[in-house]
Structure 1
Amino acid sequence: MSTLDRPLPMTSAPGGLPDRVTIYEVGPRDGLQNEKAVVPTEVKAEFVTRLVAAGLPVVEATSFVHPKWVPQLADAADLMTMLGERMGPAAADLPVLVPNERGLDRALELGARHIAIFGSATETFATKNLNRSLDEQFAMFEPTVRRARDAGLDVRAYVSMCFGDPWEGAVPVEQVVAVGKRLFDLGASQLSLGDTIGVGTAGHVKELVAGFTGAGMSVDQLAMHFHDTYGQALANAFSALQEGITTFDASAGGLGGCPYAKSATGNLATEDLVWMLRGLGIETGVDLDAVVATSAWMAGQLGRPSPSAVVRALAGAEGLAESGT
């Protein structure tokens, strides 16, 4: 099936939405971190380079977390070295997650210019994921962010469990705002709000954005990180667009989940998001065909179909479901 023959979304721009959106691709890190079978470093490097070539403006490559906690990412240093050999100086612009100062040291040694920290909006998840209390996490992150900024690095802050927690249930908006703003104020340039277990709904998104703007943050400083556990990720993304959000985290093929929260299933699929945005007339700069082909290839590497509806539709129609080739 040729590109002209296959379906494309009809563009109908309703107005009142952003003209352009930045997709922050988290597939290589958040997408793969929960895979039980270790993905070879060479495959990860190919995944990253394909995603960059597809026009994704930001591709988070890996995390310098201790291998004991996330064995899948134990090859972080080797991966970044391999990407440096493939991409040259551009590899330094790939963000990496760092959990603490030790992770920052490793990132600095490899010349990273963009890092992210990962905090929690709830006490229980902070304890399980960070081995710190809700308040203690800030003491851990403060020197990491300060040293990173002193070294000229850009810092992004994630805050998880913004819409609900599997142990604590509903999380008050004011609690999320207080934690998120405190993380951001350590010195981050952007705060990504995570629906870690996918329980958020469109009205909740609007309420949370209003909470942050009411606390003095602008929509330009916020990003959204949705999971599709209950099929709400695209609806939530559209709701966030209506509130002026222009950065969305997404994972190629809908890969992903959190190793410390069993109910945290796949991320919002990059392809599903691009399809919706294209239909709304919103620019992303992303080559949808290239991302679909990449996700189909990765599905072959992992030995199972892609969770993304768009990948399944287009790859099945065009014979792109590769078997490890």
Structure 2
Amino acid sequence: MIYPDYRPRRLRRNENLRSLVRETVLTPAQLIYPLFVMPGKNKREEISSMPGVFRLSVDQLAKEAKECRKLGVNHVILFGLPEKKDRVGSGAHATDGIIQRAIKELKNKAPELTVSTDVCLCEYTSHGHCGIIHEGMVDNDATVEVLARTALSHAKAGADIVAPSDMMDGRVGEIRAALDEHNFDQVAIMSYAVKYASAFYGPFRDAADCAPQEGDRRGYQMDPANAREALREATLDVEEGADILMVKPGMPYLDIIRLLRDEFDHPIAAYQVSGEYAMLKAAAINGWLDEERVMAESLLSLRRAGADMILTYFAKQMAKLL
């Protein structure tokens, strides 16, 4: 039998050889851990649809931050559950709002931690939509004004990065202008540049209590069938001043991550969303999949596709494994 001169298996014989030629590397520093912040004191509530993920009161954040830093996870992103909701999401930009207090707590107790904040109205509106409702529809321009106020309030509280997730047209430019006008030119914008109207968000809406009371978000989030549109969305955000471009969800849109990676020099973030986390957890709990291996493989796939950083509920668990 004639064998080829080059045998790929030569470099797969043991772990030392495999690691020597490994093309993609995953480290804890590339992981961003989402945190859900709730009202009250000394509260830690597990989210039923997301085993191992908790809603935390502000006073519990320092403990969480310490654990993250110990594991090498240096970056968190905050989502808030306000005490009250109204039709215009006023709690999103309140000086003493849940996220504003959370930022101050983290910056006081863990100043070395990089803190990002989700900038959206869905968690703060009584109707659950990501913007101001006018005549039965989300009013883009009215919403953008409120988003800019919200981002500015986060910057004043000490946020390092603001992350608009609403998918309103023009919001990155409006936020950049508001930040710069008030001397927060060093606060970065991580734009949810390409956010699809996905069915994978279900558990998050449970966690953040932000499901729309009527209708859906397909009028402002992207159609899952579209790829070229992702380039148009990302290009607009780059032109408006985005520092980081995000694709959400992650694994169902690996092709979109690669598309942005090939087109832009900006850092690319991928969000491994709640539904991705929940389905892997459920399969592992039922003994159908090896949890550690599928967790690692799923995160590695996002890095291989071109993501520089990954928002994931597996951040602490993966960091322990690494």
TM-score, normalisation: structure 2: 0.47
TM-score, normalisation: structure 1: 0.46
Would you tell me which structure has more strand in proportion to its own residues?
2
Larger RCO: 1 or 2 (CA < 8 Å, sep 6+): 1
Query: Which structure has the bigger radius of gyration?
Result: 2
